[in-house]
């Protein structure tokens, strides 16, 4: 097998299950990725580190192996072989690495992705010690959107500022009449500086910032961070702590699926669905707060375990609420299935075929709705998922309806898992206390969040400070696929199709 030689050269890396590390040469960088692609492997993330030695990383997965590939470059303005022709999602990750660290892939698309002329040209947020005195260019930069020519073709620019509380993102539609010929999205308008902020923290503080990378995935990010941190420290958390983390992760999944199912009903003109699922979500958030201390669990997962020694009685009460929510959600599913107007809007809209999904690297919930049967809880389970054995939800249809169906199935499975955790959770401590690591180290966290795989790559320097922390959201893979999903649909269907993916803006704004 082509992958065997790379695995034989690699070493085990602490952190996520199945994780290995391989330092490669310029020639073998592309060759290794090519062998993974030929095996049906997938790109999890690509990022760079600008401290010496300047390094570009790619995380590749082909179950049961996760391989972290590292390529040391000659300097901050070095180039390396692009992986975009093997993994199309790599294109924007490579452009982000260029904006933040200065390293550039040898790719046809050299447009900036994150900078937006928001900081002076030549300044590298992760590579320059100080911001240059020269101000950024006046006015907005001129981004070279791809144009579509032809008779009757015109453009509809939408955003970046949107109504309500939605985060900024620009969508450039090329249309004939109402039919969409092309969509190109541009993100990263807030410039939060998340990755730069990590470098000002101690490693034992970083979990709080990680939880706020994309707030609707707070548990997934903070668990991934703590998994990486605990790997560097060489510590194992108590069994009860692992089960409580899984409980919190499934609570987060339930809340998001309830919210999305209501919003999808509303986008299909079915306000009753929004009202009922909003009621259920509020009921669920109140139950979560009563059991775990917060409606949204931003500070629940901490190094060594969880912040709160949750009593079994509180978990049992949460499981009772889960059963009630499951019954009501089942009734609402029957109403969605039988409502002709809802079915008409969902069926056939925003279709992503299994072939296209595999080629573009669609992952997580949206990927499972397009025949990509991958779920870390099943494929590479962290404790306690190896004992809980969750059932993977999937569909081959790839349209809005399929993404709704997968949400309903995953909702019920998460509610079932919460009941199983309540009955089987072990006794004992919910957190172990250990000294913060003070040596140079690296760890990887990889957790299946509600959108898909969430990754944290954490590197520490001597003394326990964070040298580099890269958080990766599955939306990096899925935003480009949304651009394909809208092709051939009408413009008014975009809000519905967009909501059926419900991707993270914040997870891009690093």
The string of pLDDT tens digits covering residues 135-164 is 555 566 788 999 998 999 999 999 888 877
Q: Is residue 1's pLDDT more than 60?
A: no
At 22-31, the pLDDT tens digits run: 999 999 999 9
Mean pLDDT of the 118-136 span: 75
Q: Where are the domains of the chain?
A: 2-106, 194-508
At 347-377, the pLDDT tens digits run: 999 999 999 999 999 999 999 999 999 999 9
Full-model pTM: 0.96
Does 2-106 carry CATH code 3.30.460.80?
yes
Residue 361: predicted pLDDT: 97
Q: Is residue 227's pLDDT more than 90?
A: yes
Residue 78 — pLDDT band, cuts 50, 70, 90?
A: confident
Residue 468 half-sphere exposure toward CB, CA atoms < 13 A: 24
CA distance 63 to 84: 21
Query: What is the phi-psi region of residue 349: left when phi exceeds 0, alpha when psi lies from -120 to 50, beta otherwise?
Result: beta
- Asked if the bond preceding 410 is cis, omega within 30° of 0, the reply is no
Q: Measured between alpha carbons, how far is residue 341 from residues 192, 399, 402 in Å?
A: 41, 16, 16
Q: List residues bridging with 447 in a β-sheet.
A: 454
Mean pLDDT of the 127-138 span: 64
Helix 400-424 crosses helix 312-338 at what angle (to 10 degrees)? 160
At 408-456, the pLDDT tens digits run: 999 999 999 999 999 999 999 999 999 888 889 999 999 999 999 999 9
User: In this structure, what DSSP letter does residue 437 have?
Assistant: P
Mean pLDDT of the 272-296 span: 97
Would you tell me which CATH number, out of the four given (1.10.645.10, 3.40.50.9100, 3.30.930.10, 3.30.750.24), belongs to the domain 194-508?
1.10.645.10
What is the average pLDDT value for the chain, to the nearest integer? 93
Instruction: Report which secondary-structure segment, H or E, holds 6.
Output: helix 2-9
Residue 509 — pLDDT band, cuts 50, 70, 90?
A: confident
């Amino acid at each position: 097998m082509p992958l065997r030689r790379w695995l034989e050269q690699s070493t085990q890396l602490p952190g996520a299950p199945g994780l290995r590390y391989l330092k490669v040469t310029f020639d073998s960088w592309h060759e290794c990725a090519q062998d993974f692609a030929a095996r049906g492997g997938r790109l999890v993330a690509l990022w760079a580190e600008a401290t010496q030695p300047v390094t570009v990383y790619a995380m590749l997965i082909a179950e049961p192996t996760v391989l972290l590939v590292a390529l040391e470059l000659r300097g901050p303005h070095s180039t390396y072989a692009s992986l975009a022709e093997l993994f199309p999602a790599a294109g924007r990750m490579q452009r982000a690495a260029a904006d933040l660290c200065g390293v550039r892939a040898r790719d046809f698309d050299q447009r900036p992705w994150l900078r937006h002329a928001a900081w002076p040209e030549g300044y590298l947020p992760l590579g320059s010690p100080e911001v240059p005195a020269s101000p950024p260019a006046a006015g907005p930069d001129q981004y070279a959107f791809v144009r579509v020519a032809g008779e009757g073709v015109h453009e509809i620019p939408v955003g970046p500022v949107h109504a309500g509380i939605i985060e900024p993102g620009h969508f450039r539609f090329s249309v004939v009449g109402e039919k969409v010929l092309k969509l190109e999205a541009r993100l990263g308008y807030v410039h939060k500086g998340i990755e730069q902020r990590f470098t000002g923290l101690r490693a034992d503080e970083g979990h709080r910032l990680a939880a706020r990378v994309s707030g609707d995935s707070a548990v997934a990010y903070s668990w991934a961070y703590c998994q990486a941190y605990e790997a560097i420290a060489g510590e194992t958390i108590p069994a009860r702590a692992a089960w409580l983390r899984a409980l919190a992760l499934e609570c987060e999944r339930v809340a998001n699926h309830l919210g999305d199912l209501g919003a999808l009903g509303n986008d299909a003109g079915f306000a009753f669905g929004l009202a009922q699922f909003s009621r259920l979500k509020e009921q669920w958030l109140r139950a979560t707060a009563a059991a775990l201390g917060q409606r949204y669990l931003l500070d629940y997962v901490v190094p060594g375990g969880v912040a709160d020694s949750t009593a079994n009685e509180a978990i049992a009460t949460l499981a009772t609420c889960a059963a009630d929510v499951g019954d009501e959600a089942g009734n609402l599913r029957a109403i969605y299935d039988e409502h002709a107007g809802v079915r008409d809007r969902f069926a056939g809209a925003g279709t992503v075929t299994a072939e296209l999904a595999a080629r573009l690297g669609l992952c997580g919930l949206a990927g499972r709705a397009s025949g990509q049967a991958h779920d870390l809880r099943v494929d590479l389970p962290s404790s306690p998922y190896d004992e809980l054995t969750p059932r993977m939800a999937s569909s081959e249809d790839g349209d809005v309806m399929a993404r709704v169906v997968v949400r309903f199935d995953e909702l019920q499975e998460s509610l079932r898992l919460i009941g199983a955790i309540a009955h089987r959770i072990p006794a004992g401590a919910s957190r172990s206390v250990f000294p913060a690591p003070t040596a140079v180290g690296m760890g990887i966290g990889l957790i299946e969040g509600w959108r898909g795989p969430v990754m944290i790559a954490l590197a520490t320097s001597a003394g326990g400070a964070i040298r580099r922390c890269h958080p990766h959201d599955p939306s990096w893979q899925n935003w480009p696929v949304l651009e394909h999903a809208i092709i051939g649909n009408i413009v008014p269907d975009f809000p519905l199709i967009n909501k059926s993916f419900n991707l993270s803006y914040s997870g891009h704004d690093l």
